[in-house]
């Protein structure tokens, strides 16, 4: 693939959007390659995905403005569908996806990060929905997901004013879970860049997820995502069903068995939970 890198590290996988010369902007080819990459994730092995952008400067600087600028109405709709299909694929992907946001996350970049389960970012990250200034509305779910993730008031302020926000503000409004900085030695020499530390933090979180019972984690994702789309009475039924399903898994028997055995080692949950 030209614009997407895929790397598996034990039970986690890292997808890198690799179009650094255009700040990883999403053109049709990137979207196609992302879709194909997701289709080929080995779900028997991989338990958590990390999505990031190549380089230190940008996660994704939005949809490709050069490609979009000449679209007809019909082509615009087709491009929008391509993007929305990939974003929904990420959002409903069976295993958790962490967005490691390394710099600009603008327009479609902010939107793709919001299709992931969890966002952490480097201290130089910048989030924004600049579409209103470009004469369009956010088209990859921005009006919907931002208003659900942060308060509707903040979402409206960001979208109506097209103002970018920095990492600290993104943390304050709950758009990201954590902001990761560079580290330096006592003399002030950088020992690890923000991007390096960001990836280390994302991998640590991903490994923490990968250590848990995989079917339980998948069911949690499903319960949260599907439950949020409906009223509490129906949501509780969704949870009950997914809770019940866990009792048909070896993981549940092993997990609870380990606790009852009072085996300290095993209680750490690093036991090899089986996928099926």
* Residue 140 binds to ligand DAK (criterion: CB under 6 A): yes
Shortest distance in whole angstroms from residue 109 CB to ligand DAK: 7
131 a catalytic residue? yes
In our burial notation (b when 16+ CB lie closer than 10 A, e otherwise), range 174-192 reads ebbeebbebeeeeeeeeee
Can you tell me which of 53, 96, 139, 214 binds ligand DAK, judged by CB under 6 A? 139
Q: Which x/- pattern over 33-72 shows residues binding ligand DAK (rule: CB under 6 A)?
A: ----------------------------xxxxxx-x----
* Residue 101 binds to ligand DAK (criterion: CB under 6 A): no
Q: Which x/- pattern over 143-182 shows residues binding ligand DAK (rule: CB under 6 A)?
A: ----------------------------------------
Neighbour count for residue 128 (Cβ, 10 Å)? 23
Query: Distance (Å, rounded) from C-alpha 31 to C-alpha 26?
Result: 6
- To the nearest 10°, report the CA torsion of 192, 194, 196, 198: 140
Number of residues interacting with ligand DAK: please give it, by CB under 6 A: 24
Using the minimum distance from each CB to ligand DAK, give the nearer residue, 111 or 203: 111
Task: Take residue 88 and report the two structure tokens written for it.
Answer: 């929904």
* Residue 141 binds to ligand DAK (criterion: CB under 6 A): no
111 a catalytic residue? yes
Task: Take residue 226 and report the two structure tokens written for it.
Answer: 């599907």
Residue whose token pair is 């997820």: 209
Using the minimum distance from each CB to ligand DAK, give the nearer residue, 135 or 272: 135
> Which range in 3-11, 136-144, 152-160, 225-233 contacts ligand DAK by CB under 6 A?
136-144
Neighbour count for residue 228 (Cβ, 10 Å)? 10
Q: What are the C-alpha distances in Å from 236 to residues 148, 213, 214, 225, 229?
A: 19, 21, 21, 12, 12
Q: Which one of 91, 131, 248, 250 is the catalytic residue?
A: 131
Task: Take residue 189 and report the two structure tokens written for it.
Answer: 């020499």
Residues 77-96 that bind ligand DAK (CB under 6 A): 79-80, 83
Neighbour count for residue 244 (Cβ, 10 Å)? 10
Using the minimum distance from each CB to ligand DAK, give the nearer residue, 64 or 251: 64
* Residue 130 binds to ligand DAK (criterion: CB under 6 A): yes
Query: Distance (Å, rounded) from C-alpha 183 to C-alpha 191?
Result: 6
**Which residues form the catalytic set?**
111, 131
Binding stretches for ligand DAK (CB under 6 A): 22-23, 25, 61-66, 68, 76, 79-80, 83, 104, 106-108, 130-131, 134, 136, 139-140
């Amino acid at each position: 693939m030209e614009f997407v890198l895929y790397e598996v590290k034990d039970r986690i996988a890292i997808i890198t959007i690799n179009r650094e010369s255009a700040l990883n902007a999403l053109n049709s080819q990137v979207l196609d390659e992302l879709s194909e990459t997701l289709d080929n994730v080995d779900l028997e092995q991989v338990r958590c995905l990390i999505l990031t952008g190549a380089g230190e400067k940008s996660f994704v600087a939005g949809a490709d403005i050069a490609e979009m600028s000449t679209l007809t109405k019909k082509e615009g709709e087709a491009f929008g569908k391509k993007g929305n299909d990939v974003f929904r694929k990420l959002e409903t992907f069976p295993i958790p996806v962490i967005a490691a946001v390394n710099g600009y996350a603008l327009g479609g970049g902010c939107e793709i990060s919001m299709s992931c389960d969890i966002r952490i970012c480097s201290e130089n990250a910048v989030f924004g929905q600049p579409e209103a200034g470009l004469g369009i509305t956010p088209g990859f779910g921005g009006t919907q997901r931002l208003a659900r993730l942060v308060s509707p008031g903040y979402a409206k302020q960001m979208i109506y004013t097209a103002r970018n926000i920095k990492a600290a503000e993104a943390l304050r409004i709950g758009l990201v879970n954590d902001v990761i900085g560079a580290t330096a030695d006592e003399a002030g020499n950088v020992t690890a860049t923000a991007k390096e530390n960001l990836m280390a933090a994302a991998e640590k979180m991903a490994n923490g997820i990968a250590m848990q019972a995989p079917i339980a984690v998948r069911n949690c994702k499903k319960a949260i995502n599907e439950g949020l789309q409906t009223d509490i009475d129906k949501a509780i039924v969704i949870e009950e069903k997914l809770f019940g399903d866990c009792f048909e898994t070896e993981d549940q028997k092993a997990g609870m068995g380990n606790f009852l055995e009072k085996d300290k080692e095993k209680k750490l949950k690093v036991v090899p939970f089986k996928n099926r």
